[in-house]
A and B are shown apart, each in its own frame.
Chain A
Amino acid sequence: NAGVTQTPKFQVLKTGQSMTLQCAQDMNHEYMSWYRQDPGMGLRLIHYSVGAGITDQGEVPNGYNVSRSTTEDFPLRLLSAAPSQTSVYFCASRPQDSSYNSPLHFGNGTRLTVT
């Protein structure tokens, strides 16, 4: 069982470049989310989705786009990368019943550097 798979593991971008961080899960989870982790700031929610075709913004959505065309995939797009987006990005999923009963399953992260 692969769980939550994130690709790539590392990425270096120049300011202004665009890229997509991939996230796929094979657990048939309805809820998927993206967090960024920065030193001294913990994890902050970027975007989340409660099912195919449904997305919403988290705490820090600016500069990022998401879409959810299938249950399995939840890509995160950076349209014009900025140095402030240098961070470690985590994708996480769970069944949609509630966070109380079902813990979040995290991927191993994508470390992004924008120069």
Chain B
Amino acid sequence: AQSVTQLDSQVPVFEEAPVELRCNYSSSVSVYLFWYVQYPNQGLQLLLKYLSGSTLVKGINGFEAEFNKSQTSFHLRKPSVHISDTAEYFCAVSETDYYNTDKLIFGTGTRLQVFP
């Protein structure tokens, strides 16, 4: 079974500073990786995804992530954060079951807190 590890449960950062949220996954033959964001009292929204091709993936709100197969990582980055980026961020990997149904397996989440 696939698994995802988010190494930081909380990341505090000042506004306009760069940020990196770390994600590592268990190795598999084929890997499809995702980052979701959850704003307070809301459900999750897709931020970006890696399926194949270029290892640098750009998402919404200025976020990007880099797929590194040798290090089995998919870290999320933003060069300059805003107060509005305060949210919880989840890394996820797709797992296909015996019915050929894709399920998302989520990490434990990283809470990004942006201070003025």
Interface residues of B (CB under 8 A from A): 6, 9, 32, 34, 36, 41-46, 49, 51, 90, 94, 97, 99, 101-109
Contacts and interface: CB of A to CB of B under 8 A. Distances in A.
A50 B108 contact: no
Nearest to B9: A40
A100 B99 contact: no
Interface residues of A, number: 27
B90 A42 contact: yes
Contacts of B46: 103-104
A24 interface: no
A35 B106 CA distance: 10
Contact of A90 (B43, B97, B108): B43
B31 to A, nearest CB: 11
Nearest to B43: A106
Contact of A100 (B32, B103, B107): B32
B102 A104 contact: no
A42 B49 contact: no
The 3 closest A-B pairs by CB, nearest first: A106-B43, A99-B102, A103-B46
Interface of A: 4, 31, 33, 35, 40-45, 48, 50, 56, 58-59, 90, 92, 96, 98-100, 103-104, 106-109
Contacts of A90: 43-44
Nearest to B91: A42
Most buried by B among A96, A103, A108: A103
B43 A108 contact: yes
11 contacts: A31-B101, A33-B103, A40-B9, A42-B107, A45-B103, A48-B101, A99-B104, A100-B49, A103-B34, A107-B43, A109-B43
A107 B43 CA distance: 5
